[in-house]
Amino acid sequence: MKKSIVILASGAGSLAQAIIDAAASGRLDVEILEVISDQPHALVLERAARGGIKTFLHPMRTNRTEWDFDLIRHVAALQPDLVVSVGFMRILSPDFVSRFRVINSHPALLPKFPGAHPVRDTLLAGAHVTGATVHWVDSGVDTGKIIAQREVEVLPRESESSLHERIRIVERSLIVETLRALLPTLESDHA
């Protein structure tokens, strides 16, 4: 039986696009139930709509507890087998990650350089190797169990934007490969 996912993304959505393209071409046997974004002008919403995928805008509110509750309620109604966070720039609540299976793609080799600015932190630290990590999301910040990683060499005098783009290229293939391996192993929580 085909597994279902919900994608969470805040920005341009190049990783979401890789998943959408892989699903459309049959390289990934998955049903994308919805793409959820917290940013009203996020390009990922347009990408999803062009791919015929339902979208949902969930902008941050002053009351974070209500925002968390409404996100949980919305995703629960969709009943995904897996939630896939790709460039979603919000920390998910402990209640959310205890209720759903969630993976995240991160542009660094965790446990090094967790948080919101891993590419900048990599360059500031003078690291010669970085990469991409797909990991389970737990109640910490980028602390969940690592599922897959791929290295990217840091080039001499590299800018943050050029390094981040080279990491994204690796992330796009890594997230699709990880989903292809992971989805068949998941037990469905619903009939």
Catalytic residue list: 106
**Sheet with 3-8, side-by-side order of all strands:** 55-57, 30-37, 3-8, 82-86, 102-106, 129-136, 146-153
| Inter-residue contact 140 to 115 (CB < 8 Å) | no
Integer Cα distance of 86 and 106 in angstroms: 8
150, 170 in Cβ contact below 8 A? yes
